[in-house]
Amino acid sequence: MPSELNLNADSDASPDRFRKIGRDPKRAERIARKSLSAWQDIRYRLFANKLALFGMYLMVAVVLFAIFAPLFSHYNYFSNDLDRTNQAPGFRHWFGTDDLGRDMYVRTWKGAQISLFVGVVAALIDLAIGIVYGGIMGYFGGKTDEIMNRIAEVLYAIPYLLVVILLLVVMPPSLTTIIVAMSITGWINMAWIVRGQIMQLKNEEYALASRALGAGPFRILFRHLIPNAMGPILVTLTLTVPGAMFTEAFLSFLGLGVQSPIASWGTMINDGVKAMTVYPWRLLFPALLLSLTMFAFNVFGDGLRDAFDPKLKK
């Protein structure tokens, strides 16, 4: 039994209050909560995530230092100073010097330039190929999709680093070679993400509507579908960068990457390992910066993903 409540037919219930007003949907709308646009919503969630925010600041800081630190230093990254080799960090050389007396501070930020450049360019190439390839797979579907997907799967099954190493053995070592080598199989993940998104989106009303209006497939794909798939694409892009940075450092560590005197975190770490027991700072700075930068990108990418996909955060 429902608990009985008193009918409050008290004095203030004047007859006027029982005037009929009927159905009025506007009354319901008036009390509705203020709604946020999708992007505002995403930004709110991203900024509410302290770790992601920290990652973003860290990213910005590394980028700024990489650009400006070498410009505003008395030293450059390639001049030897054989009188001042293996100096400990101090006022003159903030991060110390290496075995050729080169300033570690400038070299470390020069290494950041290389690392960021490789990471971002490789990610952008992946993005370009991935969007076109994945977009075509997803939009046309059927046989086109099946054949293209098979090709991608075969490529994906080939161990990535082996391909990269093979190419580098054969081609002259340079930044371009590294980036080209990484792009050969690097785009596949992005292509799959785009494909999945497009397959979902292409049957949405606005895509069907614009097809009914006679828009061509590529117009629909790039004007209507890709922009709406931007969330997962951005997340994948962000998370590709640290992977590419690692690969560059790995290759340079093995001596397959950029060559001296150009500074790369990988080569600097390799040199640092050899001198570690005596001059630990030569390992510390490039190793710390590489880890911090990868951390920043990872954390920010995670935050971005959670912001785009709130159901994961439940």
Residues of this chain, 171-230, that bind other proteins according to CB under 8 A: 189, 192
Residue type, 136: I
Residue 225 and residue 247: Cα distance in Å, rounded? 32
At closest approach, how far in Å is the CB of 13 from other proteins?
A: 6
User: At 69, phi and psi to the nearest 5?
Assistant: -55, -45
CA 306 to chain centre: 13
The residue among 23 and 74 lying less far from other proteins, judged by its C-beta, is 23
* The one among 135, 138, 257, 266 contacting other proteins by CB under 8 A: 266
Interactions with other proteins, residue window 151-170 (CB under 8 A):
153-155, 157-163, 165-167, 169-170
Under the binding rule (CB under 8 A), the answer on residue 1 touching other proteins is: yes
Q: Token match 């008395």: residue?
A: 74
The residue among 113 and 270 lying less far from other proteins, judged by its C-beta, is 270
Interactions with other proteins, residue window 230-259 (CB under 8 A):
242, 246, 249-250, 253-256
At closest approach, how far in Å is the CB of 82 from other proteins?
A: 26
- Single out the residue of 119, 192, 198 nearest to residue 155, CA to CA: 192
The residue among 75 and 192 lying less far from other proteins, judged by its C-beta, is 192
Structural contact between residues 240 and 123, judged by C-beta atoms closer than 8 angstroms: yes
Span from 14-22, 64-72, 126-134, 212-220 in contact with other proteins (CB under 8 A): 14-22
Interactions with other proteins, residue window 37-76 (CB under 8 A):
44-45, 51
Structural contact between residues 283 and 86, judged by C-beta atoms closer than 8 angstroms: no
C-alpha dist (Å) from residue 293 to 68, 75, 154, 265:
17, 24, 32, 11
C-alpha dist (Å) from residue 206 to 37, 212, 254:
18, 10, 51
Size of the site for other proteins (CB under 8 A): 75
124: number of Cβ within 10 Å: 15
At closest approach, how far in Å is the CB of 192 from other proteins?
A: 8
Under the binding rule (CB under 8 A), the answer on residue 27 touching other proteins is: yes
Span from 64-72, 90-98, 123-131, 268-276 in contact with other proteins (CB under 8 A): 268-276
